[in-house]
Amino acid sequence: MLITLASAYYQRKTGPTYPIAGHSVLGTTAVAYEFSRSHGGEGGALVEVTVEDAAVRSLLVWRRYPTNDLWAEIPMERKGRKLVAQLPHQPPAGKVEYHVRLQKGDTELMLPPDRAVVLRFRGDVPAVFLLPHILLMFAAILFSTRAGLAALTRHEKTRSYVLWTAGLTLVGGMIFGPIVQYYAFGSFWTGVPFGWDLTDNKTLIAMIGWAVVFVRTRRNKPARGWVLGASILMFVTFLIPHSLLGSQLDYAKPSKP
């Protein structure tokens, strides 16, 4: 369980959809921010900066990504302790890059200070599909780890753990996964042979690994080396951050009618 939780935490923290947060100072004024890198559903993506000094003015600067569009500027409005604005809604898999420019008198501050934030839009995924996908894949990784440990200790239930892992990966990753992908980005599958989406591809690799082990352990054959290998393969592939090299709208292509 601890191994599974640690890998899930690492994957989320290192993923391209994890928010970028930080603190800075404009003159003597403290500034705090947390910028989203993913937005689901309808409407624009909210951008907020916490700065209590009412003398501070701010602009949200953005453009579609990756394009050579001119940067557009949106004045941010004050709402209590925060300055807020919305990035215009984009089609599913559409991305924008943005930063916030703060000004007080002659002093300016860019947030984040080193690079623009890239945010991807996605469709709204019904919870009836999203929650089973997440829970089943978490359970698959848990059983995969247990199967690997059982193979090392020659546990009598190794075959049972193999069956659970293969079944959970099949249902959670190869059935619910494409459904979630469709609602979010309009395509059931963007991995091989149709694309290079790493989330789809790593699920496919893990599924192939456990399918091979399923065959190798028929008739109660131990095949402990195969079980351990599939367990390690799944652990390594699922350390790859979620959504890395994920669906991305090509703004250069004509939009569908």
pLDDT in tens, 201-243: 999 999 999 999 999 998 778 889 999 999 999 998 888 776 6
If you average pLDDT over every residue of the chain, what do you get?
Answer: 90
Query: What pLDDT, in 10s, does the model give residues 159-198?
Result: 999 999 999 999 999 999 999 999 999 899 988 888 888 8
Q: What is the band of 257 on the pLDDT scale with cuts at 50, 70, 90?
A: very low
Q: Find the radius of gyration of the CA atoms of the chain.
A: 23
**Quick one: which of 50, 101, 110, 97 has its CA closest to 74?**
101
Work out the pLDDT band at 65, boundaries 50, 70, 90. Answer: very high
Residues 208 and 182 in one domain: yes
Q: Which domain holds residue 168?
A: 125-237
pLDDT for res 36: 95
Is there a domain that residue 6 lies in?
no
d(CA 135, CA 210): 18
Percent of the chain scoring above 90 in pLDDT = 71
Cβ contact 84:76 at 8 Å: yes
Point out the domain boundary residue: 68, 89, 122. 122
Query: Does residue 183 form part of some domain?
Result: yes
Q: What is the pTM of this model?
A: 0.82
How many domains does the structure of the chain reveal?
2
Q: Let me know if residue 253 belongs to a domain.
A: no
Helices (H), the chain: 2-14, 127-153, 158-169, 176-185, 198-216, 224-237
Tally the C-alpha atoms within 13 A of residue 75's C-alpha that lie toward its C-beta.
4
More confident residue, 25 or 240: 25
